[in-house]
């Protein structure tokens, strides 16, 4: 049995994620796919986090990319929400 590999390493467009929320206070996470994959990995491996390091690293990389992109857009004066 092969172990699935993480696929959500790049964040979705955060502007689209924010605009598609159904409520103003709803949390929008462009890295939702990477988060779900890391949690499914934990479920598959009896919550042994050491077996899911690639998934958690993909999620951290996605979040870092997203936050960097948001920071740059704010500095450039772009509308982010």
Task: Give yes or no for a contact between 29 and 13, defined as CB atoms under 8 angstroms apart.
Answer: no
User: What mean pLDDT do residues 49-76 have?
Assistant: 93
pLDDT in tens, 28-43: 788 999 999 999 999 9
pLDDT given for residue 11 in this prediction: 66
Q: Where are the domains of the chain?
A: 30-81
Q: Is the pLDDT of residue 20 over 80?
A: no
Residue 67 CA to residue 45 CA, distance in Å, equals 29
The continuous run of DSSP H or E covering 57 comes out as helix 53-75
Neighbours of 52 (CB within 10 A): 23
- Evaluate whether 59 touches 41 at the Cβ level (below 8 Å): no
Contact 61, 38 (CB under 8 A): no
């Amino acid at each position: 049995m092969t172990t699935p590999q993480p696929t959500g390493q790049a964040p979705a467009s955060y502007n689209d994620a924010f605009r598609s929320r159904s409520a103003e206070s709803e949390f929008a996470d462009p890295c939702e796919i990477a988060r779900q994959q890391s949690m499914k990995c934990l479920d598959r491996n009896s919550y042994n986090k050491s077996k899911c390091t690639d998934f958690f690293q993909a999620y951290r990389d996605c979040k870092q990319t997203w936050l960097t992109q948001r920071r740059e857009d704010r500095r450039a004066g772009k509308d982010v929400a």
